[in-house]
């Protein structure tokens, strides 16, 4: 009796957690230099959160590439300007920079790519942002990332 009750309790707990948290998000970038979202919320239950970036435009990566970089909001301006010196070969992000929490390399029109964000790198209630590292896109292609 006791064991059976425990099993049912464990099963319903697992079921409710799986239902409560959607640990993925798709964001689009277009030829008008816009993201489809200004804010992404990662539910507190997610240990990993998958972001997929879909470039819905037609322009090539070299002229209208879009990427996705997650950093602390306090590092946003510094990281994006440091990226300008890193060049296209590095997706305009300084290689190995500790300020990068997660990133998706540049994609061109019709392409997509994903990244899994390890949420153990995020503090609940911390102030995070995402942005596109392509030169000149930072001014408009950025948003808030909220965890918890």
66 makes contact with Zn ion (CB under 5 A):
yes
| 92 contributes a contact to Zn ion by CB under 5 A | no
Interface with Zn ion includes 27 (CB under 5 A)?
Answer: no
Distance CA 70, CA 26 (A): 15
Closest residue to Zn ion using C-beta atoms: 132
Q: Is 99 exposed, middle or buried (0-12, 13-18, 19+ CB in 10 A)?
A: middle
Member of 117, 137, 138, 145 binding Zn ion (CB under 5 A): 137
Nearer to Zn ion, 34 or 148 (CB): 34
Should residue 132 be labelled a site residue for Zn ion when binding is judged by CB under 5 A?
Answer: yes
Query: 128, 68 in Cβ contact below 8 A?
Result: no
């Amino acid at each position: 009796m006791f064991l059976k009750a425990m099993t049912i309790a464990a099963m319903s707990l697992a079921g409710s957690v799986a239902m409560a948290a959607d640990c993925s998000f798709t964001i689009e970038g277009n030829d008008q230099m816009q993201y489809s979202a200004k804010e992404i919320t990662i539910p507190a239950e997610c240990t990993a959160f998958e972001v997929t970036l879909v470039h819905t435009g037609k322009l090539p990566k070299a002229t209208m590439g879009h990427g996705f970089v997650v950093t602390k909001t306090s590092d946003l301006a510094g990281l994006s300007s440091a990226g300008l010196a890193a060049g296209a070969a590095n997706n305009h992000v300084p290689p190995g920079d500790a300020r990068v929490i997660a990133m998706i390399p540049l994609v061109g029109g019709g392409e997509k790519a994903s990244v899994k964000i390890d949420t153990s790198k995020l503090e609940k209630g911390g102030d995070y942002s995402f942005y596109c590292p392509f030169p000149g896109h930072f001014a408009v292609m950025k948003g808030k990332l909220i965890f918890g």
